[in-house]
Amino acid sequence: MVNATGAATARGHWLIASLRTIVALMLREMATTYGRSPGGYLWAVLEPVGGIAVLSLAFSVFLERPALGTNFPLFYATACLPFTLYSVLAQKVALSIVFSKPLLAYPAVTFADAILARFALNALTQIVVFALVILGIHAIFGLRAALDWPAILLGLSMAAALGLGVGTLNCYLRAVFPLWDTIWSIANRPLFLVSGIFFLFEGLPAQMRALLWFNPLIHITGAMRAGFYPSYRPDYISPTLVFGISLVTLGPGFWRCAIPIARS
């Protein structure tokens, strides 16, 4: 009984110390990443707003209405914002060791702390950006919100999980393969075009649907749009696929990247 109580107390102290380290790393990144640049967090909002505005303007010239609803900014925002959440998290988490390497020399700071701090801060930032942009679109265009919150939360959760998994795996691969950044940049670039941002999955030919179904981002886009368009009910979405890919990439990346690379 005494040993069990002592073990529980030790785990509690370890958890508190780890949380303090993660919060400290988050505060450090807030000061270094956003505190030193002109505009700071403002650019995190302006960047997706600018992209959505350009897409809306360009396609409204050629199309009378988007594939869903009548509002171009909302149609593209419901795809661009979750894609940005995934993309930013994958990029930031992949650079966790580089960003926190000076602090990893301290025993109190572990690889897991560096990963979780970058993930938590940037996930919260992108979710706030998501809320601000969506609220802004509804306010500016006078849209009536009929939201399916479970679908929206599912889309955000899948995007965040995929960003964490891919970013952790890339964190390891970029440390052992010097050319991995270039390879990944080339391989990742077409994803913006094939993740359902400009089209609906159901409107594609059957052979293309069969191929793109294995792209986890197409499931994230479908779930998010289902949360904003009550008449849209995509039956192809598979959270099991998305979370499965997230775990498959997170596990090996986290295990491989832990102590040797973090301390090297």
Q: Please tell me whether residue 247 adopts helix, strand or coil conformation.
A: helix
Q: Please tell me whether residue 101 adopts helix, strand or coil conformation.
A: helix
Which tokens in the block code for residue 234?
A: 């995509």
Q: What are 158-198's pLDDT values in tens digits?
A: 999 999 999 999 988 888 888 888 889 888 888 988 999 99
Q: Please tell me whether residue 198 adopts helix, strand or coil conformation.
A: coil
The reported pLDDT for the residue numbered 242 is 98
**pLDDT tier for residue 263 given thresholds of 50, 70 and 90:** very low
The reported pLDDT for the residue numbered 176 is 83
The reported pLDDT for the residue numbered 105 is 65
Q: Over range 71-95, report the average pLDDT.
A: 93
Q: Over range 137-164, report the average pLDDT.
A: 93
Q: Please tell me whether residue 93 adopts helix, strand or coil conformation.
A: helix
In the chain, domain spans: 40-263
The b-or-e profile of 233-247 (16+ CB within 10 A means b, else e) is: ebeebbbebbbebbe
